[in-house]
Structures are given as C-alpha cells and as structure tokens.
Chain A
C-alpha cells in the first residue's frame, strides 16, 4: 500500500514542517511537529478536540506564528517577515469551518476581491476567473447573490471557489463540514473530492472518515499537540498502532 502512494506522488515536496513548536503563553500547543507533504498529496488530519489540528494548519499560512522549527511551502521558507508571509499566502488557500464569506459582497465580488487587490488582476480577468471557478463548484447561477441568501453548503462551496481564485498550490481545510446541516455535507465533500482528483495538494482537518478513506493518501492522527501516528487510510483504520488512536477511532466511528 505505502509503495503505491510513494510511487504515484511526485518526489517534489510541497510543504515541510521540521521540528515545529508553538506556545500560547505558557501552554505548548504544538510539540516537535514533523510533516512532509508532496505535491498532489492529500492528507487528512484528525484527533480529539484541542489536540492542535487547527493550530498546525494555521501555522502553515502564518495565521498563527510558530516559535521553533522551520516551515517551508513550495520551497519558500516561512519566516516572520511580511515578505515571506505574503509569498506563502499567495500559494496557500484556506477554507474555514464558519465559511467566513464577506457579507457585504456578492458571491462574485467575494471571489474577485483578493485576485484584484492582492494579485493586481484587472476586473475583467478577475471576473472571468471567478465565474469559471463558481461554475466548477456548481454554483455559477448564484453569483449575484449575497452570502446570507445561500444555504450553508452553498456558502462553503463559494468559500472553496474564492480560495481557488488565487490559484493556490495548496488548499487547507479546517473542519469544512462541521458547521453544516447533515444534508449539505455531501455537496461540500463532493466538491473537495473533485478538487482532489484534479491533483490539488490538500491538508484537511476533518472527522469525515468516509472522505479520508476515499481521498487521503495519508491520515495523520494528533493528540496533545503532537503527531501520534500517520499511515495510509486502509492501514490507519484497520490496524491503528497506538492505544490513543484506537480509542479515538472507537469514539468517532461509534463502536
């Protein structure tokens, strides 16, 4: 199994975290994190609440500063200077649990804002991109609506399109379906599956284990700010090595 995943993903490293540590005051939220993600690889990150999953992916685009170790994204060393942060954020899209669409802008304007303001694209080009990506997440007909007029599932698909409008090399998802009514989870997961098929490098914090089985190259399990175990999904689910992993899987899969 692991043979297959090593051969199919190219050798190019997209994200590397080496010895990363982070503290909130005196509380250590991340402890010696080492992760390497190849281009095109899909990672599912799971673990109990408070284990540091959000903190980990938020360090990758520097929404949280890390204090020790090294993070590289697409070859760029993520330091604490604005220049490297800007460069990394240009390559990394993020989707949040609460969608975080801008309420005062239409769906289309939500998608055009950053390409125009951060990339300096002209209006026509930004609009073309936006419409194309809204098409791709199957929501083109809602382009002129405001976020409050959409369902949760639709909002989250817009959020995905908005992030994609920056043409990122990596997409980070922080529990993208946790705030959704059950009947809307599938439409968002399907969008993510499509994205995965197209070869996007993805790190998804999610407890949707069906998604993990179907899409992930590797599942990483965290507890107490550290990586406890990582394995391809089949191995991870059928043969978890650590007691904490087994306990977590028992809780989440309901047996």
Chain B
C-alpha cells in the first residue's frame, strides 16, 4: 500500500463540483415539491367516492414501490419520447423523482390523515364547511405535522436518490464527479470528497425541514 493521495484533480474540479451540488439541490427540491403534490393529490383520490380512482392510486403506489428507481427513470426517459414528449435529462429526472417520492408520500400522508380524529371532520362539517374545505383547512396541517418526521426521512432519501439520475446524465453531483474521476483516475479522492458533499447536503436538507417545521407547525399540542 503505497498509494499517494493526490487531491489536485478534485481541487481543480471544485467549481464544477460545487455547481453540481446546486444541480443536486435543484433535482431534490423540485422532486420533493412534485412528490408532495402527488402525495396530497393521491391521498385525496385515494378517499374518492369513485372506486376506479381509488384503485388507480393503489395500483400506482404498488407499481412504484415494487420496482427499482433505476428502471423507473430509464422507463420514463425512453417512454416519454415515444409518447411524443422529448425532455432533457434534468426535467426527466425531476419527474421520475417526483413520481417515485410521490408514491411513498401518498402512503405516509395517508397515515397522517387517518390519525386525525373523526371529530375534527365532524366539527368542520357541522360548521357548514364542505368536505374539500374540511380537508384543506382542518385536516391537512395537523396530518402533515403528525407524519413530518417520516416525510423528512423519505425526502432525505429522495435527495440521495438524485445520484441515480446520473444514469441518464442529469446534471447533478454524481455524474459530474464521474467525469472528473474518469479523466483523472483519482477514484478514491473523488468519491471521498463526493461522500462528504452528500453528507453535507443531507444535513442541510434536514436543517431545512427542521426550519420549515418550526415555522409551519409551531402550534402547541397536548
């Protein structure tokens, strides 16, 4: 073992790596937003009066949760053009991340909604609010609060999953570091640095969620 560490290619590639971190953030944040929309929308459809819609959601969740993300992202990348929609790798990756994260978010948020007592809904209805208003104004926030820790871990996972988007060469940290590595053959140095970056990114995400939670869910409960 007389391997000499040489971080020169990493240092030279630092501006690239840092902007790639930004790319990872963009994928993660956009993916999460889409996943949240799919998650909340899915929960609404999941409780719809129309049976076909409920089954659509159940089917969607089962398919996504029982297939690998790498296959999903390839599928979307190659299937969309067949449907006439040609998208760049980065938007494709965002859609894939949103769909994948959304399927998990549906199940998590559904648990939160189920944890809200029926009395809350009844109080809203008795006050003359409609079902949709009751969900939006009364149920949603306490439900999200109840499952926010789970949602946070799921979304940190989503953040790390962005690295798989390198398979379709979306602009993010892993694909950029792969390029530096294959140009320099400094594999250890590159992946050591990238590992550290991912740790920092995860930590920042958790801080972001903690900040959001402290803001948005600040009300006291017994």
Contacts and interface: CB of A to CB of B under 8 A. Distances in A.
Interface of A: 61, 63, 86, 89-90, 92-94, 96, 98, 100-105, 113-114, 117-119, 146, 148-149, 159, 162-163, 166
A149 B133 CA distance: 25
Contacts of B124: 102, 114
A94 B119 CA distance: 12
Contact of B126 (A94, A146, A148): A94
A162 B219 CA distance: 19
B130 to A, nearest CB: 8
Contact of B119 (A100, A104, A117, A166): A100
16 contacts: A86-B128, A89-B128, A93-B127, A94-B123, A94-B126, A96-B119, A100-B122, A103-B221, A104-B141, A105-B219, A114-B128, A119-B128, A148-B219, A162-B127, A163-B127, A166-B128
A61 B129 CA distance: 12
- Central interface residue in A63, A86, A92, by most chain B CB within 10 Å: A63
Nearest to A92: B126
Contacts of A105: 219
Contact of B221 (A114, A148, A163): A148
B219 to A, nearest CB: 5
A148 B126 CA distance: 21
Contact of B219 (A90, A117, A146): A146
Interface in B46-93: none
Interface residues of B, number: 23
Contacts of A93: 126-127
Nearest to B131: A82
B145 interface: yes
Nearest to A86: B128
B183 to A, nearest CB: 53
Contacts of B123: 94, 96, 100-102, 159
Given A98-B119, A146-B219, A117 B126 contact: no
A58 to B, nearest CB: 8
A94 B129 CA distance: 13
A205 to B, nearest CB: 14
Contacts of B142: 102-104
B138 interface: yes
B117 interface: yes
Nearest to B139: A102
A82 B95 CA distance: 38
Contacts of B128: 86, 89-90, 114, 118-119, 166
B220 A118 contact: no
Given A89-B125, A100-B123, A117-B137, 6 more contacts: A98-B119, A102-B123, A114-B127, A114-B129, A117-B133, A119-B128
- Central interface residue in B125, B126, B219, by most chain A CB within 10 Å: B126
Interface string B195-219: 0000000000000000000000101
A144 to B, nearest CB: 12
Given A63-B122, A96-B119, A117-B133, A104 B219 contact: yes
Contacts of A146: 219-220
A63 B219 CA distance: 28
B120 interface: yes
Nearest to A119: B128
Contacts of A118: 127-129, 133
Contacts of A104: 141-142, 145, 217, 219
A118 B131 CA distance: 12
B213 to A, nearest CB: 13
A205 B20 CA distance: 65
A148 to B, nearest CB: 5
B127 to A, nearest CB: 4
Nearest to A91: B128
Interface in B136-195: 137-138, 141-142, 145
